[in-house]
Structure 1
Amino acid sequence: MPKWTVTTEFTFNAAHWIRDYDGPCGRMHGHTYTVRISAITSQLHASEFCPHPVMVADFRTLKWAKKDVLKGGLDHCVLNEVLPEGYETTAEMIAKYIYDKTKKDLPAEIKLKVAVSETPNSWAEYEDD
């Protein structure tokens, strides 16, 4: 069976603090987050922007979080004010939030993997089997 994977990487800037964290991360501070999203499928699809089944997923759909917060993304927001209840602002939970929101806009059979980095040396990755 064929299998295609597309991967895209982008950045966005945001502020946050980790609730009840004993240390500097408990105070508001900012990061340039790097996000890497991989989408995997055995069937190509059309998209909101292209009516032909010629892609795994449209890169524009995968990169929604790169948009300005006023346009539905996460760029230049305070994550604590934007993420819904149940999502803390750790890299792990930001990865899950981006995964959950992206997955809603894709065909069900597409598998996703989302990695988020707050610093060049540290990544958190989320996928759901």
Structure 2
Amino acid sequence: MAKIRITKQFTFETAHALYGYDGKCKNIHGHSYKLDVTVIGEPISDLQNAKCGMVIDFGDLKKIVKTEVVDKMDHAIILNKDTPHIELAETLKASGHNVVLVNYQPTSENMVIDFADKIQNKLSKDLKLHSLKLRETETAFAEWFASDN
């Protein structure tokens, strides 16, 4: 049977700061991110399976991406745990803010790598994560392709 790619788009609001950056992005600021998740696989051919004809139920893909990415990142502040921003993070956490500490500079490029690992680990073995596209703005995005990695 043919391999088919399906894509679902997700949106979330996240703030971040790039420690050591030489421009405005060194300051805490936010984005309305859009994440396109594309998986590849063969449609289920078993007529007895309620999901016959699907590569993956869009609802099942939604559960994975929401759990692994969206619910953690939406309305959070992402900061690199290995920078002086850690003091700011502790202050924000103490004030009740949702702070996500990561072990990388929270650029779109590094975020999409992180998301790819998290999503692929939750997909069934018969599916493969094909690509991710993370839009930081309407005109700027980072892409990850399994074929490149």
- Normalising by structure 2, report the TM-score: 0.69
Judging by fraction of residues, say which structure has more helix.
Answer: 2
1:59 offset after TM fit, Å? 2.7
> How many pairs align?
118
Q: Which has the larger radius of gyration?
A: 2
Alignment RMSD: 2.2
Task: Give the equivalent residue in structure 2 for 1:70.
Answer: none
Task: Give the equivalent residue in structure 2 for 1:102.
Answer: 119
List alignment gaps of at least 5 residues for structure 1.
46-50, 68-72
1:88 offset after TM fit, Å? 2.0
Q: Confirm whether residue 9 of structure 1 aligns to residue 9 of structure 2.
A: yes
1:110 offset after TM fit, Å? 2.3
Taking a change above 3 Å as real, the CA distance of residues 96 and 44 of structure 1, as seen in their structure-2 partners, is farther
Q: Is the 8 A contact 2:78 2:102 kept in 1?
A: no
Q: Is the 8 A contact 1:12 1:32 kept in 2?
A: yes
**Within-5 A mapping of 1:1-129:** 1-42=1-42, 44=44, 52=50, 54=52, 55-57=54-56, 58-64=60-66, 65-67=69-71, 73-80=72-79, 81-85=99-103, 87-112=104-129, 113-129=131-147
1:38 offset after TM fit, Å? 0.4
Moved over 4 A (4+): none
- Identical amino acids, percent of aligned pairs: 31
- Normalising by structure 1, report the TM-score: 0.78
